[in-house]
Amino acid sequence: MIPVTQPFLPPKNELYALLDEVYDRNWLTNNGPLVNLLEAELPKYLNYKGHFSYVNNGTIALQIAIKALELTGEVITTPFSYVATTSSIVWEGCTPVFVDIDKASCNIDPKLIEAAISSKTSAILATHVYGNPCDVEAIDRIAKKHDLKVIYDAAHCFGTIYKGRSIFEYGDISTTSFHATKLFHTVEGGAIFTNNNELAHKISYMRNFGHNGQEAFWGVGINGKNSEFHAAMGIANLKHANKILEKRKEQWLRYRDGLSSRLTVLELIDEPGFNFAYFPVFFKTEAELLEKKRVLEANQIYCRRYFYPSLNTLNYTSQKESFEVSETSSKVVLTLPLYDKLSKEDQLLIIKILLK
């Protein structure tokens, strides 16, 4: 069987050495030494110089970001993303206002944003889809012109560099995910990035129930902390991050070389800085996608319709108009297997089936 993804696991002895430390200290959570070590080492690796907060998942990261920025009313966002992007907006009492995407990059189309701004708009929440950077310059210009906050859902962006800078440098806040399906993972986990000192101060309280010492509270908070066990996995995996990224690039380019003459593939915004996290292919019709998916599964090869459905069709969103590019793309996109142990032979088999 070839799954759509498979978590990278470090050598057991490297992970177990860290877990032995946890057992010796008997300190499992609440800002332990390994969490602190991971918070120190990850920004160095990512060449990120701002504030970094490790949390228990990428969805909590988005929710804390919305709360920290005190967003209200409407938040302009993309319909082409994982459901957590939209559900976090709704969960925090705001209204998602969708803007269609650019067909080539799959990211929110900045040319359409201003028409969606109203007196109720407080922010733009955009996703760097598949690790492919948004047009951050255009979004920044619009946000400054209309006095809006900007959050980037950078769940796919571990290791992504845009014009020589970490992609996490952009926006008022960027968030990411370290879920087990991600290129770099801590089993479960996520992070919040900001260059703003005041926001970083608020976030530090918010992720720990608002505690200001044992018996005092700064304000409202939530349990966004992560554990020593999760941090141990992250520290162990970080030693292998360069190797993981190099292998992923090799696999990604193999797919592109084999498929781009017959299928539409993702157009990269900044190829030298891309992290090669996902390989989506776009079919001409949904019927063609479903037939190829059936044939692949008959050969025990499992792909994912990522992202499907278009988020504007969710039953808890109020916007009723159609978003043609997002809806069409979501019906014809299939992400192919991509993970560290995927062999060249298995990739060539997948390519052969797709081209047959």
**In the chain, what are the domain boundaries?**
12-238, 241-355
- 213 pLDDT band, cuts 50/70/90, is confident
- Domain 241-355: top CATH class: alpha beta
- Spatial distance between the Cα atoms of 107 and 188, rounded to a whole number of angstroms: 25
User: Do 139 and 110 touch, CB atoms closer than 8 A?
Assistant: yes
DSSP 79-114: SSS-HHHHHHHHHTT-EEEE--B-TTT-SB-GGGHH
Query: In a 3-state reduction of DSSP, which class is residue 208?
Result: strand
- Spatial distance between the Cα atoms of 230 and 72, rounded to a whole number of angstroms: 33
Please choose, from the candidates 171, 206, 174, the residue with its C-alpha nearest in 3D space to the C-alpha of residue 67: 206
**Sign of the dihedral defined by the CA atoms of residues 2, 3, 5, 11, in that order:** negative
- 188 pLDDT band, cuts 50/70/90, is very high
Query: What are the DSSP E strand ranges found in 184-235?
Result: 190-194
- Spatial distance between the Cα atoms of 213 and 31, rounded to a whole number of angstroms: 13
pLDDT (mean) for 50-56 = 97
DSSP structural state of residue 155? T
- Spatial distance between the Cα atoms of 76 and 74, rounded to a whole number of angstroms: 6
User: Do 89 and 77 touch, CB atoms closer than 8 A?
Assistant: yes
pLDDT (mean) for 312-337 = 95
- Spatial distance between the Cα atoms of 193 and 154, rounded to a whole number of angstroms: 10
92 vs 62, 89, 261, CA distance in Å?
10, 5, 44
Please choose, from the candidates 341, 326, 344, 342, the residue with its C-alpha nearest in 3D space to the C-alpha of residue 129: 326
Amino acid at 302: Y
Residue 220 is predicted with a pLDDT of 87
Q: Is the predicted pLDDT of residue 333 greater than 90, yes or no?
A: yes
Q: Taking the CA atoms of the chain, what radius of gyration do you get in angstroms? A: 20
Please give the distance of CA 331 from its chain centroid, rounded to a whole number.
21
Strands 121-127 and 149-153: parallel
pTM score of the predicted model: 0.96
Q: Is the predicted pLDDT of residue 219 greater than 90, yes or no?
A: no
- 95 pLDDT band, cuts 50/70/90, is very high
Least confident of 60-69, 214-223, 273-282: 214-223
pLDDT (mean) for 175-185 = 97
Query: In a 3-state reduction of DSSP, which class is residue 75?
Result: strand
Strands 51-55 and 95-98: unpaired
Is 3.40.50.510 the CATH number for 12-238? no
pLDDT (mean) for 141-166 = 97
User: Do 305 and 333 touch, CB atoms closer than 8 A?
Assistant: yes
Q: What pLDDT, in 10s, does the model give residues 228-250? A: 999 999 999 999 999 999 999 99
- 210 pLDDT band, cuts 50/70/90, is confident
Residue 133, phi then psi, degrees to nearest 5: -60, 140
Residue 354 is predicted with a pLDDT of 97
pLDDT (mean) for 188-207 = 97
Least confident of 112-121, 195-204, 210-219, 280-289: 210-219
Percent of residues, the chain, with pLDDT higher than 70: 100
Locate 95 and state its tokens. Answer: 């209204």
